[in-house]
């Protein structure tokens, strides 16, 4: 589902022959050979842990911004919004990779009950990502410093986020219901 204007950052394999999330985790982590063991579960574990640690720090950062002198508070809150966006980026990466891993599990699953459980998890991820993307869009539309990610081009601009939301909504409203009908 990721959308970027000039190039795709992550593109699922809809032939269902490769778990692109696993490939991404291998290339991003630098682990080319893991002795046949998957890298993605560990990669996801540490992405999630990073987001959790960021949230611990964000609580303190938010408190400090709100407690800052009135004449500095607006700037302090803007900095909190930037930090929150960085956290959302980590959470979005986790969501994209987890969703793709679940999608690959779904296409390989023949048990209808397990397929339904996988689709439920995928739907939850989609709904959370829609909420996160809406927050990212709000932040990017209010602070011009957001929108550029040096290694991935302009992924978080308002335009790119609006396009991403369209893809997320289409997946939620069209593709998941179609998959449920087949299950």
> What are the domain boundaries of the chain?
20-182
pLDDT tens digits, residue range 62-104?
999 999 999 999 999 999 999 999 999 999 999 999 999 999 9
Q: What phi, psi does 104 have (nearest 5°)?
A: -65, -40
pTM over 0.85: yes
Closest C-alpha among 92, 95, 74, 88 to residue 135:
88
pLDDT tens digits, residue range 132-171?
999 999 998 888 788 665 555 556 778 888 888 998 999 9
Q: Tokens 């219901």 sit at which residue?
A: 177
Say how far apart CA 105 and CA 114 lie, in whole Å. Answer: 10
Q: What is the mean pLDDT of the chain?
A: 88
């Amino acid at each position: 589902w990721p959308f970027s204007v000039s190039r795709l950052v992550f593109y699922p394999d809809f032939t269902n022959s490769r778990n692109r999330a696993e490939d991404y985790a291998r290339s991003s982590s630098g682990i080319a050979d893991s002795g046949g063991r998957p890298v993605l579960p560990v990669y996801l574990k540490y992405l999630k842990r990073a987001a959790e640690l960021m949230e611990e720090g964000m609580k303190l950062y938010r408190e400090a911004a709100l407690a800052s002198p009135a004449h500095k508070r607006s700037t302090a809150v803007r900095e909190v919004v930037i930090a929150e966006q960085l956290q959302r980026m980590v959470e979005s990466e986790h969501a994209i990779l987890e969703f793709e891993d679940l999608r690959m599990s779904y296409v390989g699953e023949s048990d209808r009950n397990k397929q339904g459980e996988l689709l439920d998890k995928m739907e939850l991820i989609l709904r959370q990502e829609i909420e996160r993307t809406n927050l990212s869009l709000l932040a990017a539309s209010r602070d011009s410093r957001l929108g550029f990610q040096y290694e991935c081009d302009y992924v978080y601009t308002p335009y790119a986020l609006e396009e991403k939301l369209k893809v997320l909504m289409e997946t939620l409203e069209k593709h998941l219901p179609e998959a449920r009908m087949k299950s």
